[in-house]
Structure 1
Amino acid sequence: MKRIVAYSIMAVLMACDDGDLQIETLDFDSVDPQTCETLVAEGTEPIVFFKINSDEALILELPATALLNEVATDVTSNVTAGGSTAITYRIFDDAVTKDYFCSQIPLGSPLLSEEIQAESGQVIITTTTTDSITYTHDIRLSAISLLTSANTRITDLSIDQFGIVTTTRSTE
């Protein structure tokens, strides 16, 4: 009887399937954020940054009021799919360049293979100044959770430092 129980337990354990679980990490640490236009703090248009790593891109969209020309510590925006603060991870079929994001006419290649929206997380911005005109914005990400089209979740806590950007106050 003990053998039957032992064999039954072994059979159950061997039959377990991990559901083809894939752990992905997003590696954009060594890439600086880019934007298509000159940064204007306290502007009226949403601010879009992107980081390109060969055939992948990480896109951060912030509301116009996210970068302020004033010293501020840990101003937090919550990330929501389709919200004013959004993070998108894109995979392309070939290497992508800044022209893909900044071209007036959409480029024919590379083609978008997959687009994954962040479902939750936080964007934390700390603003400092060295003079009365130039402001440095340290943008960090926290607890970013992405949901793929196959309803698998990528929660990558290794994404922390998005980058540092600078704005200048108008002297007019």
Structure 2
Amino acid sequence: MRKFIFSILGSIVLLSCSDGDLEIETIDFDSVSIQFCSEPDPTTSNILFKINDSEALILELQSGVLDNGVVGETVITESSVPSRSQVTYRIFSENVNNAYFCDNIPPATPTVVDEVEAEDGAVIIETMVDPDDATSFIHNISLSGISFVTGDGERITNLTISEFGDVRTDVP
């Protein structure tokens, strides 16, 4: 009887093994610095990204969401995902650098192994005048309620990406 139970348990273990599909267990970019190819501009859409070895978190902000605010006040702006702004998570075949995003023709390697776009959430931007330099605004960008769903329909819930980072724009 014991051999029978062990053979059944062994069969269950073998059948439950992964078929080799890539599983995303966590998305963690809070300790990674924000990057961009050209200085953020309040009048256009902006592409900001974070790179963590062979992973990237890409934020495309809608045009005009980096409101230059009012000197002396803090302005909070919200942009919904995916209708206004977009958050994309990519896994690459090897480590990636900003040349992948900034070169006119992206390098042939690394290649994108998996890409998942956020299906829900919001980008919240808190804008204030830089207390150390009154000629620029600081835009603190946070992500709230971001929800990724993979192609297999699996929801990624272990997210550590609430603080996206700060960018600066000039006071007009």
User: What residue is the counterpart of 1:90 in the other structure?
Assistant: 90
SS at match of 2:27: coil
- Distance verdict in 2 for CA 1:19–1:79, change over 3 Å: farther
- Distance verdict in 2 for CA 1:168–1:113, change over 3 Å: same
Aligned ranges 1:1-172 → 2 under 5 Å: 24-41=25-42, 43=43, 45-70=44-69, 71-80=73-82, 83-129=83-129, 130=131, 132-170=134-172
On the 8 A contact 1:143/1:156 being kept in 2, the answer is: no
Distance in 2 (CA, whole Å) between partners of 1:160 and 1:107 is: 30
Distance in 1 (CA, whole Å) between partners of 2:126 and 2:163 is: 12
Gaps of 5+ in 2: 1-11
Aligned length: 150
Question: Residue 157 of structure 1: CA displacement?
Answer: 4.7
Question: Residue 155 of structure 1: CA displacement?
Answer: 2.4
Question: Residue 49 of structure 1: CA displacement?
Answer: 0.3
On the 8 A contact 2:80/2:122 being kept in 1, the answer is: yes
- Distance verdict in 2 for CA 1:36–1:146, change over 3 Å: same
- Distance verdict in 2 for CA 1:87–1:155, change over 3 Å: same
Question: Residue 53 of structure 1: CA displacement?
Answer: 0.1
* Alignment deviations for residues 71-100 of structure 1 (CA, whole Å, 9 cap, x no partner): 4433111112xx330000000000000000
Distance in 2 (CA, whole Å) between partners of 1:122 and 1:59 is: 14
Percent of paired sites with the same residue:
42
Distance in 2 (CA, whole Å) between partners of 1:96 and 1:57 is: 8
SS at match of 2:106: coil
Question: Residue 69 of structure 1: CA displacement?
Answer: 1.2
Distance in 1 (CA, whole Å) between partners of 2:35 and 2:24 is: 27
TM-score (structure 2 length as normaliser): 0.79
TM-score (structure 1 length as normaliser): 0.79
SS at match of 2:160: coil
* Alignment deviations for residues 112-142 of structure 1 (CA, whole Å, 9 cap, x no partner): 0000000001111100113542100010111
Amino acid at match of 2:31: S
Question: Residue 156 of structure 1: CA displacement?
Answer: 3.7
On the 8 A contact 2:29/2:160 being kept in 1, the answer is: no
Task: Please report the RMSD computed on the Cα atoms of aligned residues, expressed in angstroms.
Answer: 2.2
SS at match of 2:35: coil
Question: Residue 58 of structure 1: CA displacement?
Answer: 0.2
